Structure 1
Amino acid sequence: MKVFAVIFALSIVFSCTNESKGNRHLVADSPVKEENRPEADLFKMAAKGKDALKFCTSEKLNTDFCILIDMSLHSGIKRFFVWDFKTKSIVKKYLVGHGCGSNQWSADGSKDNPQFSNEDGSHLSSLGKYKLWGRGHSDWGINIKYLMHGLEETNTNALKRYIVFHSWDRMSDDEVFPKGSPEGWGCPTVSNNAMKEIDPIIQESGKPVLMWIYQ
């Protein structure tokens, strides 16, 4: 009888110990995911904003604002920023898609590790500074597009590749992390509602606007 009691007691201790370990494991899972959520580096953005203003001034582009796209960030969080030169701050931010490359079109295969290319047919986005100038009709989203004139060696083929700034019905207004945004063939795409906000700002500027895609 005593032997049975000892065995029973040990089994309870062992069971409680395992349950405790299991609970600690379950509790730890949630914070880890939260810690892995990337955030925009504001110091990096401020430095980009400073360089962007110098560039816009020298190239006679709009000096009220520019568009900064940080491709080092996960595509499921907002990484498209409208940067105000006067206040040196973000005034708007949105999700933005990038090129799928050899991955499935409209999926999120490279949501946290996009590749870039200036080659025609690569289906990849290109890094570098662009001049947004030339508003036209798009077959996508709310049927508005802006031509993207590549200003660096990394994006000289943008017009040849039909890389333009437009909206896409598949793009979300809200962050979708840990999922990623749908990937197209290289165009920086935003949601329809985002374009409805950005389009009048660009039109009212009266000057070409800098879009700087960097990593």
Structure 2
Amino acid sequence: MKFFSALFAMMVFLSCQKESANDRKNFLTQNTISKEEKPVLDFNKTKGKAIEALQFCKDNKLSTDFCILIDMSLHSGVKRFVIWNFKEQKITGQYLVGHGCGTNSWSSDESKNDPSFSNADGSHLSSLGKYKLSGRGYSDWGIHVKYLMHGMENSNSNALKRFIVFHSWNLMSDQEVFPNGSPEGWGCPTVSNNAMRIIDPIIQQSQKPVLMWIYK
């Protein structure tokens, strides 16, 4: 009996050791995957878009000093909104930006990984495409500043009709919140209040309307 008791105890011990080792392995694997999966802005992709944007700005009499590029292919918890300086060919500002919730709950982050887009009125979704920012005015949101967004493509031609504007929102964070996402509104690109305090003067100083390009 003593022999079998000792044997049983040894088997339990070895089993526990194996489970403990597996738990450590799984923990390390999960954390490694988590770190590897955090997306980052692709500078080369951004630069390629900026080259195309500059020609568009020249053709449409928009500012050739800078533009705003928003890469909606990125998770909404990372900084996917950039100010691109055409003359210096570099990013001079990078911020979080929210997108439309669609049929999801307002202010949730349910589509943080893969948002849908639409130009339809009432869709509560953001629209892809190039916009001309102009018409600074009062907003009920954030720091009470908004810019009208004039859609310049078929994909965003209803922006004004849908009251899609660029503004700040108290719920938006200054820092990246990944793996969580940014809160989703009714289609407007939204930034944090502090971000807008930086961006607003830059837009105001521009001698020409500014391009905002939302793409994925």
Pick the TM interval, shorter chain. over 0.9
Q: Where do 1:25-174 residues align within 5 Å?
A: 25-174=26-175
3-state SS of paired residue (1:154): helix
3-state SS of paired residue (1:86): coil
3-state SS of paired residue (1:193): helix
Give the TM-score taking structure 2 as reference length. Answer: 0.96
Q: Deviation per CA, 1:85-142, whole angstroms, max 9, x where unpaired?
A: 1221111011111111111111111111111111111111000000001111111111
Residue aligning to 2:10:
9
Cα deviation, residue 19, structure 1: 1.3
* Whole-Å separation in 2 of the counterparts to 1:140 and 1:3: 73
Which moved further from structure 2: 5-14 or 88-97? 5-14
* Whole-Å separation in 2 of the counterparts to 1:152 and 1:73: 22
1:212 pairs with 2:213:
yes
* Whole-Å separation in 2 of the counterparts to 1:5 and 1:142: 72
3-state SS of paired residue (2:156): coil
Q: Deviation per CA, 1:149-201, whole angstroms, max 9, x where unpaired?
A: 10000000000111000111111111111111111110001111100000000
- Once superposed, what is the RMSD of the aligned Cα atoms? 1.1
Question: What amino acid is aligned across from residue 188 of structure 2 in structure 1?
Answer: C
Give the TM-score taking structure 1 as reference length. Answer: 0.97
Cα deviation, residue 9, structure 1: 2.8
Structure 1 unmatched ranges of 5 or more:
none
3-state SS of paired residue (1:129): strand
Cα deviation, residue 14, structure 1: 2.3
